[in-house]
Amino acid sequence: MSDDVLDKDQAPPPREALEDNRLTGAFVDEVTDALAAGDTARVQELAEPLHPADIADLIEQVEPHERQQLAAALGDVLDADVISEMNEVVREQLIDVLDAGQVADVVTQMETDDAVAILEDMDEEDQAEVLRSLPADERAAIEEALSYPEESAGRLMQRDLIAVPEYWTVGQVIDFLRQAGDDVTSDFWEIFVVDPAHKPVGTMRLSLVLRSPRNVLVTDLMNREQTLIPVDMDQEEVALRFQKYALISAAVVDPSGRLVGVVTVDDVVHIIQEEADEDILRLSGAGDGDINDSVREIVSTRLRWLVVNLGTAIIASIVIGFFAGTIEKMVALAILMPIVSALGGNAATQTMAVTVRALATDQLTEANTRRTITKEIRVAVINGAAIATLVGVVAGLYFANVHLGLVIATAMIGNIIVAGLAGVMVPLTLDRMEVDPAVSSPVFVTMTTDVMGFLFFLGLAAATGLTG
């Protein structure tokens, strides 16, 4: 959250620009038409009443090759607020074409966390150039933030906050706030209370400060139960704390316990979405796919995973190859094979998705792991038996071969049980090894279910003399 209240006397933006919270195609066309006609005044007129988040959307919505032109046409309408709101990928593309001086101008208008978000994605050289163009105190703040690990609280936090001594009264707090000038932020939701060593001892909700008479002591009003965020805590962990304890803001402390910054919930809201999306995309082998990535970036991520999956598919084919003779004698086996691998794969994916998300949201812990695994086995046995019966009957009837029906039924139940087990054990093991289960599980899990599925099916067929 950067600036104060927006232009307070401004009427709400024209609602025709938005429908269901998205910019309409018609509005975007109007802007691009004005752009093509070189009518920058019209472009600004259309964009100016919009909320910065919507102006950012507008830039993301136009064709990539038009974005620079639009940025130039928008002029001052494209301010620091808009840039903070932009999708990361599109913002990088835009920043790339600005020179260091222009970037520095934009950055000086931002809060430290927004400034860091821009600078951290730049090349080292460009980043250094921009930093040199900044006023000394801003540069110091940003360099400090960059010294913290990526995706940590230190990069998320704001330094501007309100901290008052324990021995003050409500009256003194209000006087301080009223008399403070522009260098004290108006962007806070709670007031931190610190001891002489600048270590947080409590927080005060503004609503309580407003409701209390002036003579009430801060120590009597504050909440001592506070969630302190270590400066190097991972952002996903920060987000989970906010969610768990219903926080609006939280104090960030350095290793010695001193208050160094504050994280507010709106930064965290954005992370929760991102982290969940990451898991979906990684589970599908789409990497960190963003709808704005270039063709090259998309190809490089997805192709990597397709090649890995090709590897596991080849392993499965090798297993089938062992049974080439068996298949030659009964083509029904080839016809039914996809059913075995498809169902095993689906059962495994279901289990894997639930497990990965339960791990990510701290719902799967030491205390309930054994119980969860036992439950998954029971579910797999029941589902396996049901599907196996269905498939066995259908296959047996269609090919008029009871033995075949029994073989596929047995293979199916075995495969679904293995799939259920793999779907829960693989993510759990990877998590214990501190490897991201969303990225790595799919490969191991599908390989297991495919190989075991074909082994069961074709192996049973051969072993029980199905093909004579």
Site string for a copy of itself, 197-226 (x = CB under 8 A): -----x--xxxxxxxxx------xxxxxxx
Stretch that binds a copy of itself, among 15-23, 72-80, 98-106, 110-118 (CB under 8 A): 15-23
| Residue (16 or 362) nearer to a copy of itself, CB | 362
Write down the least CB distance from residue 219 to a copy of itself, Å: 9
Q: What does residue 164 show for φ and ψ, rounded to 5 degrees?
A: -125, 155
In the chain, count of helices (H) and strands (E)? 22, 8
Site string for a copy of itself, 375-414 (x = CB under 8 A): x--xx--xx--xx--xx--x--------------------
Write down the least CB distance from residue 42 to a copy of itself, Å: 18
By CB under 8 A, name the one of 237, 389, 406, 460 that touches a copy of itself: 237
Tell me if 302 contacts a copy of itself by CB under 8 A.
yes
- Binders of a copy of itself in range 44-73 (CB under 8 A): 51, 53, 60-63
DSSP 37-52: TT-HHHHHHHHTTS-H
Write down the least CB distance from residue 137 to a copy of itself, Å: 23
Stretch that binds a copy of itself, among 91-99, 127-135, 136-144, 296-304 (CB under 8 A): 296-304
Tell me if 373 contacts a copy of itself by CB under 8 A.
no
- 3-state DSSP call for residue 103? helix
Distances (CA, A) of 136 to 98, 132, 133, 154, 339: 21, 9, 9, 19, 66
C-alpha–C-alpha distance, residues 72 and 62, integer Å: 14
Write down the least CB distance from residue 78 to a copy of itself, Å: 18
Q: Where are any strands of DSSP class E within 206-339?
A: 228-230, 249-253, 259-264
C-alpha–C-alpha distance, residues 74 and 41, integer Å: 9
Number of residues that bind a copy of itself (CB under 8 A): 147
Tell me if 295 contacts a copy of itself by CB under 8 A.
yes
Tell me if 168 contacts a copy of itself by CB under 8 A.
no
C-alpha–C-alpha distance, residues 391 and 453, integer Å: 14
406 touches 392 (CB < 8 A):
yes
Stretch that binds a copy of itself, among 71-79, 95-103, 172-180, 254-262 (CB under 8 A): 172-180
By CB under 8 A, name the one of 134, 316, 425, 445 that touches a copy of itself: 316
Q: Are strands 163-165 and 190-194 parallel, antiparallel or unpaired?
A: parallel
C-alpha–C-alpha distance, residues 53 and 449, integer Å: 45
| Residue (154 or 423) nearer to a copy of itself, CB | 423
User: How does 292-318 read in b/e, with b if 16+ C-beta sit within 10 Å?
Assistant: beeeeeeeebeeebeeeeeebeeebee
By CB under 8 A, name the one of 69, 133, 243, 429 that touches a copy of itself: 243
348 touches 312 (CB < 8 A):
no
Write down the least CB distance from residue 40 to a copy of itself, Å: 20
Write down the least CB distance from residue 184 to a copy of itself, Å: 8
Select from 83, 116, 113 the least CA-distant residue to 98: 83
| Strands of the 259-264 sheet, one edge to the other | 228-230, 249-253, 259-264
Q: Where are any strands of DSSP class E within 87-231?
A: 163-165, 190-194, 200-205, 228-230
C-alpha–C-alpha distance, residues 359 and 335, integer Å: 38
Tell me if 132 contacts a copy of itself by CB under 8 A.
no
289 touches 279 (CB < 8 A):
no
By CB under 8 A, name the one of 371, 400, 433, 434 that touches a copy of itself: 371
C-alpha–C-alpha distance, residues 72 and 91, integer Å: 14
Residue whose token pair is 């008029």: 400
Write down the least CB distance from residue 10 to a copy of itself, Å: 6
Site string for a copy of itself, 275-294 (x = CB under 8 A): -xx-xxx-xxxx--x-xx--
Tell me if 41 contacts a copy of itself by CB under 8 A.
no
By CB under 8 A, name the one of 246, 255, 400, 433 that touches a copy of itself: 246
- Binders of a copy of itself in range 317-356 (CB under 8 A): 317, 320-321, 324, 327-328, 331, 333-339, 341-343, 345-347, 349-354, 356
By CB under 8 A, name the one of 9, 125, 183, 434 that touches a copy of itself: 9
| Residue (144 or 187) nearer to a copy of itself, CB | 187
Residue whose token pair is 């199905």: 466
Q: Which two tokens stand for residue 82?
A: 């808009």
Q: Which two tokens stand for residue 272?
A: 């929760």
By CB under 8 A, name the one of 41, 99, 266, 393 that touches a copy of itself: 266
- 3-state DSSP call for residue 192? strand
Tell me if 363 contacts a copy of itself by CB under 8 A.
yes
Write down the least CB distance from residue 374 to a copy of itself, Å: 9
